[in-house]
Amino acid sequence: ENEDSDTTEQATASDSQLPADPEQPLSPEQERGRDLFVAGCGSCHTFEPAGTVGQVGPNLSELPRNQAEVLRAIDIGGRGSGSMPPDIYRGREAREVARFVSQNGPGV
């Protein structure tokens, strides 16, 4: 039961922001990465695949990044300038966010 309600909530949130692509649904891991991104990153970063519109950090919809680059940014806090806090996510959660961003960004 919980899985169904979670899926419905996620679909509703994403459907109101982005058109669904039935040919390429998100994997459960990508859904988790998206949800983590929305919760921890979306208030600062615009990223169309997550349906977020942030005004502080770079627009990730326009910045191609591979998974290693995204992981490093999560680890050190962006470019290390202090405007993004380091270690917003760690371990598996950091990898899921990095994978989601790198697989859904421009040039993919």
Whether pLDDT at 5 is above 70: no
Q: Measured between alpha carbons, how far is 89 from 24 in angstroms, rounded to an integer?
A: 26
pLDDT at 70: 96
The whole model's pTM is what? Answer: 0.75
pLDDT at 26: 85
Tens of pLDDT, residues 29-66:
999 999 999 999 999 999 999 999 999 999 999 999 99
**What are 29-32's contacts with CB under 8 Å, separation 24+?**
29/96, 29/99, 30/96, 30/99, 30/100, 30/103, 30/104, 32/96
